[in-house]
Amino acid sequence: MEEAVGMKFLYRLLDGASRAWNKLVLSPCLKRSFASCGENVSIGRRFEIAGVENIHMGHDIYLGPGATLITSRAKIEVGDYVMSGPNLTVITGDHRTDVLDRPMMSITDAEKLPENDQDVVIGSDVWLGSGVTLLKGVHVADHCVVAAGAVVTKDVQPEFSIWGGDTRPRNRIAV
C-alpha cells in the first residue's frame, strides 16, 4: 500500500515537472523559433517539430499533446482559432520513388523534386480530432471539422463541412 502511494506521489511530481518544463521553457523557445507566431498559442507535451523556420502560426491555437509537425522545404500555415486533439500529425514532404538504383534513405533533401514537398494550410476556426494526419499539399478550409483518425490526402472543402475518418464529407452546416 505504501509503495503504491509512493509511486502515485512520484508520478504526480514528475508529471508536474514535465508540465512546468513544457510551459515555462520548451513552448516559449519554440514559439520564438517559428517563422511567425501569433498570441495565445499552446502546444501540448511530447511534441515533435522539425523545420520550425517554415511554420507559421496564427492566434489562439491549441495543439494537443503528441503533436508532430514535420517540414523541410514547404510551409505549414495554421490559421486563427485552430484546435486539435492529441497526436495530430502534419507532414509536408514525401520521398522520391523514381530513383530505383539507390536506397531511398540515401536521397538527400537537396535531391528532392518540387512535387515531393508541398505546403499544408489549415484555415481558421478548424477543429482537428485526435490522431488526424494531414499530408503534403492539403488545404483545410475555414470552419471545418476533421474527425478523429482521419488521414487527409486531399483538400478539405468547402467551408463549414464535417469530414469523417475516411475523409469523405459527412455533413455541411447551413449558414
Cite the active site residues: 95
Q: What are the helix (H) ranges across the chain?
A: 2-21, 27-33
Q: Are 78 and 56 in contact (CB under 8 A)?
A: yes
Give ∠ CA 125-64-118 in degrees, rounded to 5. Answer: 65
Rounded CA gap, 61 and 36, in Å?
13
Rounded CA gap, 172 and 175, in Å?
9
CA distances 24 to 17, 43, 106, 156, 157, Å, are 10, 12, 38, 35, 37
Rounded CA gap, 98 and 151, in Å?
24
Burial of 36 (0-12, 13-18, 19+ CB in 10 A): exposed
Q: Are 31 and 51 in contact (CB under 8 A)?
A: no
